[in-house]
Amino acid sequence: MVTPTPFVPVIDADGIATLVVPGEKSLNIVGTPAITALTAAIGALGGNGAVRVLVLRGSRDGNFIGGADIGEMAALAPETARTFITGLKDLCDALRHFQAPVIARLAGWRLGGGLEVAMACDLRIASSDTRLGMPEVRVGIPSVIHAALLPRLVGQSLASWMLLTGETIDAGRAFAHGLVHRVCAAGELDAAVMHTARELAALGPAVLRQQKALLAEWQRLPLDDAIERSVDAFAEAFATGEPQLHMGRFLNRRRP
The pLDDT tens digits of the residues spanning 132-155 come to: 999 999 999 999 999 999 999 999
**Rounded to an integer, what distance in angstroms lies between the CA atom of residue 21 and that of residue 157?**
32
Predicted local distance difference test score (pLDDT) of residue 190: 94
pLDDT at 2 over 80: no
The fraction of the chain above a pLDDT of 70, given in percent, is 94
The fraction of the chain above a pLDDT of 90, given in percent, is 84
Nearest to 170 by CA among 226, 204, 126: 126
Mean pLDDT to the nearest integer, 154-162 = 98
Catalytic hit among 24, 79, 116, 199: 116
- Is residue 141 domain-shared with residue 26, that is, in the same domain? yes
**Cα dihedral 133, 136, 137, 143 sign:** negative
List Cα–Cα distances, 12 to 99, 102, 198, in angstroms: 18, 15, 10
- Is residue 197 domain-shared with residue 214, that is, in the same domain? no
Instruction: For residue 3, tell me if it sits in a domain.
Output: no
In the chain, the number of structural domains is: 2
Mean pLDDT to the nearest integer, 248-252 = 92
Report residue 4's pLDDT band, with 50, 70 and 90 as the boundaries.
very low
pLDDT at 63 over 80: no
Instruction: For residue 2, tell me if it sits in a domain.
Output: no
pLDDT at 6 over 80: no
- Is residue 175 domain-shared with residue 57, that is, in the same domain? yes
- Is residue 163 domain-shared with residue 213, that is, in the same domain? no
Beta strand 123-127 with 102-106 is: parallel
136 tagged catalytic: yes
Neighbours of 101 (CB within 10 A): 22
Predicted local distance difference test score (pLDDT) of residue 65: 85
pLDDT at 80 over 60: yes
Percent helix, percent strand, percent coil in the chain, to nearest 5: 55, 15, 30
Instruction: For residue 1, tell me if it sits in a domain.
Output: no
Predicted local distance difference test score (pLDDT) of residue 59: 79
Mean pLDDT to the nearest integer, 101-128 = 96
Catalytic hit among 24, 72, 79, 136: 136
Mean pLDDT to the nearest integer, 122-138 = 97
Q: Report the predicted TM-score, pTM, of the whole model to 2 decimal places.
A: 0.93
